[in-house]
Chains A and B, each alone.
Chain A
Amino acid sequence: GDSVTQMEGPVTLSEEAFLTINCTYTATGYPSLFWYVQYPGEGLQLLLKATKADDKGSNKGFEATYRKETTSFHLEKGSVQVSDSAVYFCALSDVNFGNEKLTFGTGTRLTIIP
């Protein structure tokens, strides 16, 4: 079945540091890939997405590129801020098989220190 493996946390960085959170996936079809973010006490929010190979999703300075050859969708940001502290979830959806449910990774907790 479909699965998502993401970098174990927690991750702690200083403000303005470069961020990478690794995500790899296994899917039988051609999935869409997502990064969701969860701030303390809130539900998940979509951060960015990519629907086909080589697409790059971007939002709020975050980027991720859909790499079919390495089955990866790593999240990057060039200069993190304290407000980026949250839990980040990588996910996939294989709607081509008629099922729109999301398969999530375990989440990576990110803490940014001033």
Chain B
Amino acid sequence: DAGVIQSPRHEVTEMGQEVTLRCKPISGHNSLFWYRQTMMRGLELLIYFNNNVPIDDSGMPEDRFSAKMPNASFSTLKIQPSEPRDSAVYFCASSLARNEQFFGPGTRLTVL
């Protein structure tokens, strides 16, 4: 079975550009999580969805960040405009009914 799929795996962009990260959760899972990992701040939850509805977005750093889940098999995390301090590894994870979270391989974002 395919695990959580994230794209792209690596993204390099310039400050001010829009960045869109994509995630396909495991089929049948009903919760989806976006995390950010940096050396300074560790692993932070940005937002999570349950049944495609955002439940907790308290970790979204500011209005430049937005996330959507238009259907059960797809989610996006958008940064507009991007800044160098957004450079990090972004993980998507999914779970079923409050069980184990399965993580994707991550997207390494570099903003120059």
Contacts and interface: CB of A to CB of B under 8 A. Distances in A.
Contacts, number: 43
Interface stretch (B63-71, B76-84, B95-103): B95-103
Contact of B95 (A42, A49, A100, A105): A100
User: Which 7 pairs from chain A and chain B are nearest by CB?
Assistant: A43-B103, A44-B103, A100-B98, A106-B42, A104-B43, A46-B100, A95-B98
Interface size class of B (residues with CB under 8 A): 20 to 34
B9 to A, nearest CB: 10
Interface of A: 41-46, 49, 89, 93, 95, 99-102, 104-107
B21 interface: no
B4 A43 contact: yes
Given A42-B105, A43-B105, A89-B43, A100 B100 contact: no
Contacts of A43: 4, 91, 93, 103-106
B12 interface: no
Given A43-B4, A43-B104, A46-B101, A107 B42 contact: yes
B75 interface: no
A99 B42 contact: no
Contact of A102 (B50, B101, B104): B101
Contact of B45 (A46, A49, A101): A101
Contacts of A41: 105
B56 interface: yes
A42 B91 CA distance: 10
A107 to B, nearest CB: 6
Nearest to A99: B56
B43 A107 contact: yes
